[in-house]
Structure 1
Amino acid sequence: RKLYRLLWELQMKREVHTRDNIEYSDNISSARKERITCLFDRYKKKMNGIHLLLP
Structure 2
Amino acid sequence: MKSIIAFIFPWSLFMTLHRPAESVVCLLLQISIFGWIPAAIWAIYILYRDKIA
TM-score (norm 1): 0.35
TM-score (norm 2): 0.36
Relative contact order (C-alpha < 8 Å, sep 6+): which is higher? 2
Pair member with larger Rg: 1
